Amino acid sequence: MSFKKEYDVIIIGAGPSGVKSALTCSKKGLKVLIIDSNGNSGGQIYRAPPKSYIKKSKKTLEENLIQIKFSEDLKRNNIDTAYNHTVWQVSPGFKIDAFNENGTIQWNTKNLIVATGTYEKIIPFDGWTTPGVIGLAASTILLKAHQTIPGNKIVLAGNGPLLISVAYYILKFGGKVDAIVDTSSKFEWIKSMISLIFNPKNFIQGISWILKIIFSRVPIYSNSLIKKVFKIENGISVEIQNIKNKQIKKLTTEVLAVGHGLTPSTDISRLLKINHTYNDLKGGWIPRLDKYFRSSMQGLYITGDGAGISGAIPAEDKGELAAYALLKDQNIIIEKEFTNKTSRIIKRLNRYEIFAKGIAKLNFTPKDLINNISENTILCRCEDITKRDIINAVNNGAKNLNQIKSWTRFGMGPCQGRTCQYSVAKVASEELKCNVKDLDYLTGRTPLRPFPLDKAIGDFEYDEITKVEAAPL
* Closest to other proteins by CB, 30 or 163: 163
How many C-beta neighbours within 10 Å does residue 124 have? 25
Which segment (54-62, 182-190, 340-348, 350-358) binds other proteins by CB under 8 A?
A: 54-62
Residues 374-393 that bind other proteins (CB under 8 A): 378, 381-384, 393
How far apart (Å, rounded) are the C-alpha atoms in residues 390 and 60?
47
With CB under 8 A as the contact rule, the residue among 21, 24, 37, 241 that binds other proteins is: 37
Q: Decide: is 5 part of the binding site for other proteins (CB under 8 A).
A: no
Q: Decide: is 425 part of the binding site for other proteins (CB under 8 A).
A: no
With CB under 8 A as the contact rule, the residue among 82, 133, 238, 442 that binds other proteins is: 133
Amino acid, res. 259: G
Q: How far is the CB of 82 from other proteins (least distance, A)?
A: 15
Residues 69-88 that bind other proteins (CB under 8 A): 86
* Closest to other proteins by CB, 151 or 358: 151
Q: How far is the CB of 63 from other proteins (least distance, A)?
A: 11
With CB under 8 A as the contact rule, the residue among 191, 361, 409, 437 that binds other proteins is: 409
**CA nearest to 329, candidates 338, 342, 316, 341:** 338
Which segment (69-77, 291-299, 302-310, 453-461) binds other proteins by CB under 8 A?
A: 453-461
Structure-derived torsion over alpha carbons of residues 280, 445, 106, 8, reported in degrees to the nearest 10: 40
Number of residues lying near other proteins (CB under 8 A): 95
β-strand partners of 380: 385
Q: Decide: is 253 part of the binding site for other proteins (CB under 8 A).
A: no
With CB under 8 A as the contact rule, the residue among 27, 273, 291, 367 that binds other proteins is: 273
How far apart (Å, rounded) are the C-alpha atoms in residues 446 and 429?
27
Query: Three-state secondary structure along 165-182?
Result: HHHHHHHHCCCCEEEEEE
With CB under 8 A as the contact rule, the residue among 5, 54, 246, 335 that binds other proteins is: 54
* Closest to other proteins by CB, 254 or 329: 254
At how many degrees (to 10) do helices 200-215 and 186-196 cross?
Answer: 150
Q: How far is the CB of 41 from other proteins (least distance, A)?
A: 16
Q: Decide: is 275 part of the binding site for other proteins (CB under 8 A).
A: no
With CB under 8 A as the contact rule, the residue among 77, 130, 185, 330 that binds other proteins is: 130
Q: How far is the CB of 160 from other proteins (least distance, A)?
A: 16
Which segment (125-133, 189-197, 322-330, 423-431) binds other proteins by CB under 8 A?
A: 125-133
Q: How far is the CB of 374 from other proteins (least distance, A)?
A: 15
* Closest to other proteins by CB, 55 or 201: 55
How far apart (Å, rounded) are the C-alpha atoms in residues 18 and 318?
9
Residues 141-170 that bind other proteins (CB under 8 A): 141-143, 146-152
Residue 140 contacts residue 173 (beta carbons within 8 Å): no
What residues have CB less than 8 Å from 312, skipping those under 6 apart? Answer: 16, 45, 46
With CB under 8 A as the contact rule, the residue among 134, 177, 180, 322 that binds other proteins is: 134
State the DSSP H helix or E strand holding residue 406, giving kind and residue range, or none if neither. helix 401-408
Residues composing the chain: 473
Q: Decide: is 96 part of the binding site for other proteins (CB under 8 A).
A: no
With CB under 8 A as the contact rule, the residue among 187, 414, 435, 438 that binds other proteins is: 414
* Closest to other proteins by CB, 153 or 341: 153
How far apart (Å, rounded) are the C-alpha atoms in residues 213 and 30?
47
At CA 415, angle to CA 100 and CA 91, rounded to 5? 55
**How far is C-alpha 264 from the chain's CA centre?**
6
With CB under 8 A as the contact rule, the residue among 68, 297, 403, 430 that binds other proteins is: 403
Residues 281-340 that bind other proteins (CB under 8 A): none
Residue 195 contacts residue 155 (beta carbons within 8 Å): no
Q: How far is the CB of 314 from other proteins (least distance, A)?
A: 21
Which segment (312-320, 323-331, 353-361, 449-457) binds other proteins by CB under 8 A?
A: 449-457
Residues 178-237 that bind other proteins (CB under 8 A): 215-217, 231
The two most distant CA atoms of the chain are separated, in Å, by 79
Q: Is the peptide bond before 94 cis (omega within 30 degrees of 0)?
A: yes
How far apart (Å, rounded) are the C-alpha atoms in residues 285 and 309?
11
Q: Is the peptide bond before 447 cis (omega within 30 degrees of 0)?
A: yes
Q: What is the DSSP letter of 130?
A: S
Residue 336 contacts residue 364 (beta carbons within 8 Å): no
